[in-house]
Amino acid sequence: MAKLKSPVLGNVSGTVGNIVFTEKGDSSILYRKTKRTVHAATAGMEAVREKFKLVASIAIGINRTVLLKKLWPSNPKVRRSHFNNIFMTNYPLVHTIDNIGKPVMAPGIGFPLTNGVITPGLKGLTFGCDVPDSDANIDTEVEKFVIGCGVVILTNPVDAENPAFMVLPVKTGMQGLDSDTPISLSNTYVAEDLSVFQGYTTKKVYLVILTTSADGTPLRRSVQFSS
**In this structure, what DSSP letter does residue 62 have?**
H
CA 133 to chain centre: 32
Question: Which domain range does residue 19 map to?
Answer: 2-32
Residue 15 has pLDDT above 80, yes or no: no
Query: What gap in Å lies between CA 148 and CA 224, rounded to an integer?
Result: 10
Pair (7, 82) in one structural domain: no
Pair (70, 90) in one structural domain: yes
Other CB atoms within a 10 A radius of the CB of residue 100 amount to 18
pLDDT one-digit tens code per residue, 161-205: 999 999 999 999 999 998 889 999 999 999 999 999 999 999 999
Asked if residue 196 is part of any domain, the answer here is yes
Tell me the residue type at 121: G
**DSSP for 111-122, written as a single string:** BP-SS-EEEE-S
The number of domains in the chain is: 2
Pair (6, 113) in one structural domain: no
3-state SS assignment for residue 28 = strand
Q: Return the percentage of the chain with pLDDT > 90, whole number.
A: 70
> Mean per-residue pLDDT for 124-128?
97
Q: Return the percentage of the chain with pLDDT > 70, whole number.
A: 80
**Contacts for 160 with CB less than 8 Å, ≥ 6 apart:** none
pLDDT at 86: 93
Pair (128, 177) in one structural domain: yes
